[in-house]
Amino acid sequence: MAFRFLPTLMRMPMPSSFELLILIPLADALVAQLRDNPALPAVRYAPKGIDWNNKDLHSVSIVLTNGSTGLTRAQMQAMPQLKLVSAFGAGYENVDLVAAKDLGIAVTHAPGANNATVADHAMALMLAVSRGLHLLDAAVKDGGWESNRAARPTVNGKRLGIVGLGNIGEQIARRAAAFDMEVAYHARHVRAHVPYLYCATPMELAARSDYLILACPGGPATRHLVNRYLLQALGPQAFLIN
């Protein structure tokens, strides 16, 4: 994923005493990239949590977080030099935007930066669960390949339901169409520019789907969207991919 906040940082004065606090786990290569960037302050990598009563936080000027980890008002107030909160990825649902505005802290995120990757992963999950790749992998490791060749369903010609037809949902739909899947979707509004069938409710979509992929934001608005009734509508032979 590209760090889209770097141009902003390069325009900011960065005294050597300032720090970039990373609250989320990152690949070693990405951490090294940040440490080596001369435009950034010193990096403090704390993916396992941090003591918010530590006065050393007074030197933190930038925080890298994500939507699920977020950043609260109290945490922002523990860093009096904080100027920028950057959410890694599109989501920022647990970043207190009101507090950031009150405290004069800029907040950025990177919508679209990993849309293709997420769509690829959704397709990989659908293919893996459909073909039982996890079972076959275990069978090969246990020496039981010959006894685990039971026929498995294919996605070809099946019905895919997508809850949320935003950028990621549309990319999943295009990939599914290449597998000759019949695509339908539910979203807050009808997408007039797409050729896929619109279902007015998630329940209606589930009832007609062999596979149901959730490509909608998390948070209170979608909490309990998947409940016992939706699972019953989906049926025991279908697959749910979150």
What is the distance between the alpha carbons of residues 36 and 10, in angstroms, rounded to a whole number?
14
Range among 4-8, 50-54, 155-159 with highest mean pLDDT value: 155-159
What is the distance between the alpha carbons of residues 163 and 175, in angstroms, rounded to a whole number?
15
Confidence of residue 148 (pLDDT cuts 50, 70, 90): low
Confidence of residue 55 (pLDDT cuts 50, 70, 90): confident
pTM higher than 0.75: no
Residues β-bridged to residue 43: 20
**pLDDT at res. 34:** 93
Let me know the angle formed at the C-alpha of 67 by 61 and 70, rounded to the nearest 5 degrees. Answer: 45
Count of domains observed in the chain: 2
Query: Could you list the residue range(s) of the whole structural domain that residue 52 is in?
Result: 6-108
Cα-Cα-Cα-Cα torsion 10, 15, 16, 21, nearest 10 degrees, comes to -70
235 and 131 in a single domain? The answer is: yes
94 and 135 in a single domain? The answer is: no
90 and 186 in a single domain? The answer is: no
What is the distance between the alpha carbons of residues 43 and 33, in angstroms, rounded to a whole number?
10
The residue out of 42, 75, 108 marking a domain boundary is 108
36 and 87 in a single domain? The answer is: yes
Residue type, position 106, single letter: A
**pLDDT at res. 126:** 96
* Spatial CA neighbour of 108 closest among 30, 17, 12: 12
The residue out of 45, 80, 108 marking a domain boundary is 108
Residue type, position 206, single letter: A
In this structure, is residue 56 part of a structural domain? yes
90 and 206 in a single domain? The answer is: no
**pLDDT at res. 111:** 86
30 and 73 in a single domain? The answer is: yes
Cβ 53 vs Cβ 80: under 8 Å: no
Task: Give the list of residues 6+ apart from residue 229 with CB closer than 8 angstroms, or none.
Answer: 203
26 and 123 in a single domain? The answer is: no
**pLDDT at res. 16:** 57
Confidence of residue 17 (pLDDT cuts 50, 70, 90): confident
84 and 175 in a single domain? The answer is: no
The residue out of 108, 138, 173 marking a domain boundary is 108
Residue 163 sits in a domain of what CATH number?
3.40.50.720
**pLDDT at res. 83:** 97
